[in-house]
Structure 1
Amino acid sequence: MPEIVPLRSGDPHNLGAYRLQGRIGEGGQGVVFLGVGSSGDHVAVKLLRSDLAGDPMMRERFLREVDAAKRVSPFCTAQLIETGVAGDQPYIVSEYIEGDTLQQRVLTSGPLGGPALHRLAIGTATALAAIHQAGVVHRDFKPANVIMGPDGPRVIDFGIAKALDASATQTSRPVGTPAYMAPEQIMGHQVGPPADLFAWACTILYAATGNSPFGSDTLPAVINRILNAAPTTDSLHGLLRDVVESCVAKDPRARPTAEQVLLRLLQHAQPNPAILQEAAAAAGATPPPPNAWAPPNAPYGAPPHGAPPPVPTKQYAAGIPPQTGSYGMPPINQPLRAPVNQPPPPPYHPQPIHHIGTQPSVQKSSRVGLAAVAVGVAVVAIAAVVVVAMRDNGTGTTGTTGTSSSSLSSVSSEPTTPEPKPSPTPTVIRAKMPGLSAYLYEASTDPLALTYYDVNDESKKNWVNYPRESRDGKFTRSTKYWQQYLSPDGTYSVGRPRNYMSDNFHGVDIITRSTGAVQTLKTVKLPLTYEYGEWSRNSTRLLFTILNPSGENWTVKGFIVIDIATGKTTVRRINDPTIKDGRFYWSPDESGFVIAYTDGTTSGLRHYNFQGEVVKTIPGVGVPYNTANGLYSPSGDKFVTKCPDTNAGTCIWDSETGAAQTQLTSDCNPVLGWWDEQHLYCWTSPSDTVSKVAVVDLKGDVVRDLIETTDVKRLSPYYVRTGSS
């Protein structure tokens, strides 16, 4: 709780209709007093320094800008009550919130975590949503401007930074606290709501760690990190981590809106008129209800293996969850449309130096030099801000930083170049899947693409293949192939024919997609076949598992490697009953192959070289799922299996040592593969009639739907990592 100290000599005893009882704190902009009105209610009264609004016209502009903040709805904010002028000093009266600032709370009690951090994130995002809905940008969101009130977090001092900017004679300098400034704010570009979301993410990281996410050493070092480095988010987990990471994107166009952040944190697919009320309630002292995640059921499954029955799971909100990807979340209210090839926005470059000062002579070939000069100019531009900001020790419950107009002589008043119109954010597209009752959800930035799927034709007791024309093209029914495997670079499609060749070899068709040319290669002879195609990352080789389909259960009999450029087919027969129920995967460096083995009560992984010889065994790590696009994460550093204890769920292991890394206790089952380094994708079953393929984080929390179907027993999807991922 902030200490209320007595008034000092020279302090006013009254401001407007409010009697001042003591000092709450002093910041860079002025002094904050505890006042009391005629009704007896306490208020916070901020008396600004006279040099922040030096003449009547400037004071009028300042008060007009602050008055705009009165439109902000009182959701998780300290409501602005009125403004006035005492002599030549403007003052602002706002609701008084008892409690420490977030900065004080972390300094005295340590970082937040768990439900407390989640409520902080929801409450502060709710405040920003309310502020932005009123057409106001905070511009100085930071831990010192969040009060940890008895009914939840409250955001203060919104609109004051903009008012200071509007009342100044120079319009191209940044106003705010450097450690929480967005890149565009540091560089003097146009500042809008995305800058507040950047500062929000930095504040959440501070709350979770006790440290400013871009450091607190020298000013040039901090600015350089903000412009060129990504903060560490290891202290966060699940949805909160994903949302924070999307908010610290360097490109302001890539950041979600405050409302989109709320929808993600509250796990809603679509906005609703009561979102702020609901979010404010969730941010209160009462913990929010348990997460309503969606999870699993169904197979990656090859056609011979069928699909498991549905498994009841937790309920997940219906609809299309926002996409999490390299360009953040899509506009929630954007209408769905047919799939198109939608490229991401062009790169954002925060270094145009002429926006904030005179551009030095820099060689065009020196990108490092340009970045260094940009940082240097940015340091000059905001040095005055830092001097003022450092005076704010975080004790003032309503104190924000400011900049005196007299300190800006070194900053050019040249107008900023207008910002280009934002490019469209990649959107999650909903498309009907032919052949069954199912919908596909995908975006152009997805690291994986659904290249084909199998549908069980129950009337003919047969599986029908639906390959895709291109990464985002149409699916068409195919009767020639059991499966078709699209290469990561999109150059080739490899078909597994339904029929054997006349000499009883099972052929494989290499199709050059640009010309339609087909090359047929021989693999194995009857009664053997092959399946489970897995491309090498560079699209030059394709791995298959040899299977013996005789009897009820198909058994593994070796592997096949096809060199696409030369057409060479290498067949390695292996007769080992301990690997009969597995399938071969590429090793992490693709120098060999890995398969599951079960020897008595021990299950693990067995590594083979190209000659079919065992070179390494990792026991006790359980059995892999039949993961379609590889056993290992994209980096090759970890792999996923069913835990050795069948009741323990899914386990993640270190690829080199086999050491356990983490365990998923959610209902995500079975796992279909790695979505990216921090996410898997798997079958989920939010109800008895609907199943979904969903992206989950390594805690088991669902962050994105990929497929929704009521025909789970008829569907086997096959995803391929795209060449750009």
Structure 2
Amino acid sequence: MPDPVPLRRDDPTRIGGHELTARLGEGGQGVVYLGRSPSGAAVAVKVLRADLPRDQAARDRFVREVSAAARVATFCTAQVIETGVDEHGPFIVSEYIDGPTLAAAVGRDGPRTGAALLRLAVGTVTALVAIHRAGIVHRDFKPANVLLGADGPRVIDFGVAKALDATTTLTSAVTGTPAYLTPEQLSGEPAGPAADMFAWAGTMLFAATGRAPFGADGLPAVFHRIMTAEPDLTALEEPLRGVVAACLAKAPSARPSAGQVLMRLLGEEAQDTGGAEGERAPEGSAPDVLEQDRDAPAGRPSSGDGAGREVSPGDVPVREIPARKGKAHRRRVPVLAAGTAVLVLAGAGYLTAQVAAGQGRGPGPRVTSSGSPAASSGSAAVPSGVAVAPATRAYTLPGSAITVHEGDGDPIRLTSYGLGDGARVYVRAGLTGRFTPATGYLAYAMSPGGRRALGIDALYGADGSSTVSVVDRPGGPAATIAIARAPVYPAFPQWSPDGTRALVTLNEATGGTAKGYGYAIIDPARKKARVVRVRDSGVGRWSYFWRGDGRAVGTWASGAGEVRWYALDGAAAGTLPGLGGPLTVDGEDLSPSGLHFLSRCPGAAGEICVWTADGRPSARFAFPADRVIGWYDETRIAAWRRKGEGYEAVVVDLGGRVSRVLATAGAAEYKATVLRYTRTG
């Protein structure tokens, strides 16, 4: 921050219990002071220059809006400590970062280059991942809002623009700094997470050149270039040049999410991480902060279905599994932005690509003493199915250009989807109703038949616990269940075959990375969760899934080509080796009977293998699928394939024959969208 200067005669000396000792700066939004908290810690106190209405409801709304910033992880952001309104106006108290702004540092020392520029890019986009994960859009990302602290860059002032815009007369119709506005803002459209990515790209270009991305020679000229021109990116090197170019796309839907950018900068494929999920925004708008019911439990996003009982951490038993002895397998865990107060990267595949595997409804898998599958007398035949139901209607999903083709006789029905790598989640009213935004959830999965739903909550509870919500449908109450304390968080909800229990994969954010932690079994009737920590060697890269009998869960062991089963209490329950490799599956891993699952065929690219519960080969067919939606029925799957410049989801039988199109999507939306289907019966 700028060097402190003495207080002026008319400056306040105390705000919200914090003593003010000096001025740090002044801008269009207000004055920033250096302060001392009651404990003696240095803090930054921003007093906003806002014409706030006098009625208490407006003041309460302002505090509620701006307090959302406190949900953001402190990793690469300045922690918000307190917000409020007193006789001096609305104020925000945050962590004091002793360092210059990026704007000042570049003006003093010149542009950033090489590793220093890349570190700046990684740190600032990590901050945006955390901000978007908390359901906030910055809306004023710029060099002056990036502080260069001793421990790296920190982003400040997130969420302030929305709070002022919603409750005061300070801001105009277009909020933000002119040089870093987006085409959609200049067109009068709402600013969502994609607007932050455009401003982030411009800020990185400023850091590399010392110049505003679209010039500084008068607003009409700058605005014209924002709308029509492409800036010169020759000062940037790869991989930064490519991601900056993508983020400067004129259309918001064409820009990558913060999570995708982070993965590309770290050398990972964006589809491996699913990108970053951000706030939930209704169609046609992009609210910057998740709304909460004032009567809802603290930290629980409003679902509109009523408050449920929150389980205390003491009700969440944890069982740890000792590490598997023997040779350790290398595993590639994506490096993610993370903190202790925010759920991080969960999207297409939820942190890691989801895989298909299962177990029959009979006894556990047969394993020989040598660890190989028991010999079989031949392939288990896959039964023939009935004809595929024809599509009777086609519609475009709200908030997207994806077209869905649906038939009245379909055994599965699209019931939720996430756009922009989960930045917005939409939920269907039952199995046939309209789709509406589901604010407050990172993911949402309906149980078979649509009786219940499980939502991964976007917010941690007031006690720091990650939570899920079990929703009785249609229109029933929602019960919030604590899972584990931060930095452990749930992802990829799945219902048991009988719909009586649910499963979530647990990951742990630590030191800027995320690694596998284990799983949790959720009992909706008792409003409890059993957390199992898995320390097994090679496990943690892939998510967990149900066995067909509902008495165990499994996961793939990285590099081993095998599925390992665990009982619901965490005890080892068998291994299926020699299966090839996992496929990315967005929905159901098991066939409807629970008797079959899929994999990439051992030693054969572009082929899918079908296995029985005990690991015997059942079918093998060629199909160019990078992602599988799930099982359509017992003899067919739903999978994506490339079609022209985009992709289409099709029904394909276990001989590789396509019978119907389920959905079509452009390349960008295919990569950033998860379609979750529910079995109708």
Q: What TM-score, normalized to structure 1?
A: 0.40
Larger radius of gyration: 1
Q: What TM-score, normalized to structure 2?
A: 0.43
